[in-house]
Amino acid sequence: MRLYNSLTKRVEEFIPIEEGRVSMYTCGPTVYHFAHIGNLRSYICEDVLEKLLRFSGLDVKRVMNITDVGHLSSDADTGEDKMLKGAKREHKTVMEIARYYTDAFFSDCAKLNIKTPDVVEPATHCIDEFIKVISSLIEKGYAYEAGGNIYFDTSKLKEYYVFHNFNEEDLEDGVREGVEKDENKKNKADFVLWFTKSKFDDQELKWDSPWGVGYPGWHIECSCISMKHLGERLDIHCGGIDNAFPHHTNEIAQSEAFLGHKWCNYWFHILHLNTNDGKMSKSKGEFLTVKLLEEKGYDALVYRFFCLLSHYRKSLVFSWENLDNAKTAYNKILARVAAIQGEPAGEVDKAMYDKLMKGFTDALDNDINTSNAITALYDVLKADTTPATKLALIDEFDKVLSLDITANAKKLASQQGADDELPAEVAELVAQRAAARKEKNFALADELRDKITALGYRIEETRQGTKVTKL
């Protein structure tokens, strides 16, 4: 399997550290508000990657944090803690906000068929681990105290800007606004590991530490939670492209300084979902959520399908028109599969199965080309082979695509069956006509037939009995 690695900026053969096993870490949500559908694009793409690895026979262990402390309004360690902002907005405690939006996040994920990672760990559960790693970084000379906070000293590294050679498009997406100057920092790029002094004294969650009562910086949580559950060497680290700098850059700096060796081999970054008027943002008032899509009549899986139609390394523009096109295409696939399900299945044709399966795996093994994988699905639908072959392939493809194709096609067919049922008025006239015929009252039977025709239905006598169809 070939995968683009942001660290080397090349598409590379993916080789896990331990044969047959993959350790995978995902930056989880900051749970101060609903996830927007841009956030969820990242989680959908990561879900496809995880499922593809499993599909290839690898044993994956995936870990995700929940950011419930330390993520400030600007990624450059300034501004108010986002969680506190959320709590103030809703007049609740930080923990109430965290619980509510964590549940909302996993409910959105369930609707989008995003598998819950094997381990989900909130940052607030790991304070001891953070203190241990920060203490070690101070001991090793990689961190210093200034103005009450503990900072990582980036000048101690041979190379800090590991993702810096992004092409321009990536860099544009990778920068967040609102950087204020922090006079305590020895170097511009230094970042906070532990806060005891903040302009925002009302920070709700604080813990005792060797450096005073305070709270952790955002970046340290991902390093520590990953190491806690996945050990000293990590195969794949995922996240949206905005996280490459500073968040992932800082994760690498502190993890490798602590460990004394390379930490993570492959970095998987997803480009952003944008709207026509720019970046998607939670601070913009009403923003796009799964709930909003549902209110407007879209199934969450239509959004998943929409995301799969484009490559994760390209920015994607959201518009209702684009979503409508995805909805039409998704429903057409379901209708075609429903028709195939209704045909006599026959036997699986092994040679055709292998050929069509290869089209699918080739697409995904080439840096997760999901749009080509969807083309491989269309190839199956139009292939000259048995329904059994097609249905078996569709079930296999859906282990990675997770679009509920088989189940939703069946639902569609049963809905159509229900639509084909006669309206009560017509059914009553048909029953009366049958009774009239039984009594050999043909004049009444003809009269009733005319009434049925006037209501838009044709009635015929066939060898199987009376057949009523829509005109």
Residue 199 CB, shortest distance to Zn ion, in Å, is 24
* 30 DSSP 8-state letter: B
| Residue 191, number of CB atoms within 10 A of its CB | 24
Determine whether 278 is exposed, middle or buried from the number of CB atoms within 10 Å of its CB (0-12, 13-18, 19+). exposed
24 counts as binding Zn ion under rule CB under 5 A: no
Residue 454: enclosing H or E segment and its boundaries?
helix 442-454
42 counts as binding ligand AMP under rule CB under 6 A: yes
Q: Which stretch binds ligand AMP (CB under 6 A): 34-42, 119-127, 128-136, 461-469?
A: 34-42
Partner in contact with 302, chosen from Zn ion, ligand AMP, none, beta carbon below 5 to 8 Å by kind: none
280 counts as binding ligand AMP under rule CB under 6 A: yes
CB closer to ligand AMP out of 33 and 156: 33
Vertex 235: Cα angle to 230 and 237 (nearest 5): 85
Residue 278 CB, shortest distance to ligand AMP, in Å, is 10
CB closer to ligand AMP out of 214 and 239: 239
Short-list 405, 40, 353, CA closest to 48? 40
- Selected from 3, 7, 24, 27, the binder of Zn ion by CB under 5 A is 27
The distance from CA 221 to its chain's CA centroid, rounded to whole angstroms, is 21
CB closer to ligand AMP out of 272 and 327: 272
Residue whose C-beta lies closest to ligand AMP: 240
108 counts as binding ligand AMP under rule CB under 6 A: no
Residue 470: enclosing H or E segment and its boundaries?
strand 465-470
- Selected from 39, 255, 370, 386, the binder of ligand AMP by CB under 6 A is 39
CB closer to Zn ion out of 72 and 222: 222
Q: Using CB under 6 A, which residues numbered 149 to 168 contact ligand AMP?
A: none
The amino acid that residue 124 corresponds to is: T
CB closer to ligand AMP out of 39 and 198: 39
Exposed e or buried b for every residue in 159-171, given b needs 16+ CB within 10 A? ebebbeebeeebe
333 counts as binding Zn ion under rule CB under 5 A: no
216 counts as binding ligand AMP under rule CB under 6 A: no
217 counts as binding ligand AMP under rule CB under 6 A: no
CB closer to ligand AMP out of 127 and 280: 280
Cα(380)–Cα(387) distance, rounded to whole angstroms?
A: 10
Query: Position of tokens 């230094």?
Result: 190
Short-list 426, 435, 428, CA closest to 458? 426
Partner in contact with 222, chosen from Zn ion, ligand AMP, none, beta carbon below 5 to 8 Å by kind: Zn ion
Kindly list the distances between the CA atom of residue 395 and the CA atoms of 333, 391, 402, 418, in Å, as whole numbers in the listed order. 13, 6, 9, 25
Q: Using CB under 5 A, which residues numbered 215 to 274 contact Zn ion?
A: 222
87 counts as binding ligand AMP under rule CB under 6 A: no
Short-list 164, 153, 168, CA closest to 253? 153
CB closer to ligand AMP out of 243 and 369: 243
Residue 4 CB, shortest distance to Zn ion, in Å, is 19
Residue 281 CB, shortest distance to ligand AMP, in Å, is 8
Short-list 263, 220, 247, 226, CA closest to 64? 226
Q: Which stretch binds ligand AMP (CB under 6 A): 177-185, 268-276, 295-303, 353-361?
A: 268-276
The distance from CA 410 to its chain's CA centroid, rounded to whole angstroms, is 25
- Selected from 14, 24, 41, 377, the binder of ligand AMP by CB under 6 A is 41
Strands 215-216 and 191-195: antiparallel
117 counts as binding ligand AMP under rule CB under 6 A: no
Query: Position of tokens 């989900």?
Result: 120
The Cβ-side half-sphere exposure at 304, using a 13 Å CA radius, reads: 23
DSSP string over 340-371: HHTS------HHHHHHHHHHHHHHHHBT--HH
CB closer to ligand AMP out of 144 and 218: 218
248 counts as binding ligand AMP under rule CB under 6 A: no
CB closer to ligand AMP out of 36 and 156: 36
Q: Which stretch binds Zn ion (CB under 5 A): 26-34, 290-298, 304-312, 383-391?
A: 26-34
Residue 38 CB, shortest distance to ligand AMP, in Å, is 3
Residue 406 CB, shortest distance to ligand AMP, in Å, is 29
Determine whether 383 is exposed, middle or buried from the number of CB atoms within 10 Å of its CB (0-12, 13-18, 19+). middle
Catalog residues that contact Zn ion under the rule CB under 5 A.
27, 222
Catalog residues that contact ligand AMP under the rule CB under 6 A.
27, 29-30, 38-39, 41-42, 67, 239-240, 242-243, 270, 272-273, 280
